[in-house]
Amino acid sequence: MKPIKVGLLGIGTVGGGTAAVLKRNAAEITRRAGCSIELTEVATRTISRAEGVVDSNVKVSADLESVVNNPEVDIVVELIGGTSLAKDLMLKAIDNGKHVVTANKALIATYGNEIFARAREKNVMIAFEGAVAGGVPIIKAIREALSANRIEWAAGIINGTSNFILTEMREKGASFADVLKEAQRLGYAESDPTFDIEGNDAAHKLTILSALAFGIPFQYEKAYIEGISKLDAADIKYAEELGYRIKLLGITRRTEKGIELRVHPTLIPEKRLIANVNGVMNAVLVKGDAVGATMYYGPGAGSEPTASAVVADIVDVARLLTADPQHRVPLSAFQPDMLSNDPILPIEEVVSSYYLRMQVADQAGVMAEITGILAQNSISIEALLQKEAQGGLAEIVILSHLAVEKQVNAAIAQIEALSASRGKVVKLRMESLG
């Protein structure tokens, strides 16, 4: 099958990530898409940077128009940001019959109605998963996965910078100004952080979610926007005393009178999962009449997380250009002739951490015997808890570092054979999921 050719506008943080992912995962992407996807042209103002990222067979120039006019390019990926030049280029690409992938939330929220109308006219696709919540596939969830539902509302933590600041203010009891400085030092906030901390960025994303959830035009200009810069640390503390966390939330809700579209600091009961989304992470909670509440969580920004969404969009477009409808997505996610024959590991070969609980006679030297057995079997100890048990016995709980299951089983057999040992050792596996 002929390769799909991609032209890239801009190779900054997300553009660089997109080029890197397309290159590194080329084989895995072809296994999924059924065709190869080739980056053939990059236009950027920082040519030297681009040349460090892409292969030598990729054309690199400062000529943005060249990409949107190149008849060889199937998909234009717009990652230059902003709303004037980006809009011109996108409309030109559409007029040239090219499909467009973008992560530009400001552009879609502000000019989406016009851009989509033009795209329908020219019969091209516009994909924009990266525009909301970075690597979290919330656009696909709302547009496709929840299509059975009348959506009632959506509420999201959709600005990582603000969430990082609020998390630090709560955990350290620090003021907004102090935490902002720290966030800027760590690179989580820009030198001019206005768009993030005043809620505009979240409102762009919320505008997109609202249009997709309810089937209304993009209406960014009607969003109510209130940021976190005036938030007092005292209110975070009082909220916590009352059982709440404060988050910068974008909320859109369908009511009998109309659609709510609002971004502001919001108290949320601390028992809600979304109240426990901390640091730069994003999460969107969607309430549908059939499914109830579902939540989508992950990194909302950054080079490769956002590139993950951009490349998934490229694959989605490529699938519609190359596959017959019945095979748009392969049944098993990968092309049937490209399945792998990796073996399934027997449980004895699995590497995990372990929780071991045992009862032993409370006598001198037992702990040395047990820890000796673990050491002989290459099992190192992360934590150890000794409890008094009934009838002169001691109960010992050990958490191990990573170990091979068969060695853990061998150690358990040796421990159970000790004269001080009473009964069976309880073994549970432990995963950090980090």
Region near a copy of itself per CB under 8 A, out of 18-26, 60-68, 74-82, 410-418: 18-26
Shortest spacing between CB 131 and a copy of itself, in angstroms: 12
| Closest to a copy of itself by CB, 86 or 319 | 319
Residues 399-418 that bind a copy of itself (CB under 8 A): 399
Q: Which is nearer to a copy of itself, 64 or 162 (CB)?
A: 162
* Alpha-carbon span 192 to 186, nearest angstrom: 14
Concerning whether 181 is annotated as a catalytic residue, the answer is no
Selected binder of a copy of itself within 23, 51, 69, 125 (CB under 8 A): 125
Beta strands in 186-327 (DSSP E): 224-225, 244-254, 259-269, 281-288, 292-299
Options 98, 105, 205, 287, the catalytic residue: 205
Which long-range contacts (C-beta less than 8 Å, at least 24 apart) are formed by 24-27?
25/311
CB closer to a copy of itself out of 50 and 213: 213
* One character per residue 212-251, x = contact with a copy of itself (rule: CB under 8 A): xxxxxx-x--xxx-------x-xx--xx-xx-x-x--x-x
Find the helix or strand (DSSP H, E) in which 424 lies. strand 421-430
- The span from the CA of 100 to the CA of 93, in Å, is 7
Residue 195 contacts a copy of itself per CB under 8 A: no
List the one residue from 48, 56, 84, 123 that touches a copy of itself (CB under 8 A).
Answer: 123
∠ at Cα 154 (149, 156), nearest 5°? 145
Cα–Cα distance for residue pair 399/168, rounded to 1 Å? 30
Q: Which helix (H) or strand (E) holds 419?
A: none
Residue 265 contacts a copy of itself per CB under 8 A: yes
Side chain identity, residue 223: A
**CA dist., res. 54 & res. 337, Å (int):** 29
Q: Directed axis angle between helix 105-122 and helix 200-214, to 10°? A: 40
Decide if residue 269 touches a copy of itself (CB under 8 A).
Answer: yes
Q: CB of 250 within 8 A of CB of 202? A: yes
Nearer to a copy of itself among residue 2 and residue 257 (C-beta): 257
Scan residues 355-384 and list those touching a copy of itself (CB under 8 A): 355, 357, 383
Residues 127-166 that bind a copy of itself (CB under 8 A): 129, 135-137, 140-150, 155
Q: Is 321 in the site for a copy of itself (CB under 8 A)?
A: yes
The residue type of 110 is T
Under rule CB under 8 A, residue 205 binds a copy of itself? no
According to the binding rule CB under 8 A, does residue 332 interact with a copy of itself? Answer: yes
Under the binding rule (CB under 8 A), the answer on residue 114 touching a copy of itself is no
User: What residues act catalytically?
Assistant: 205
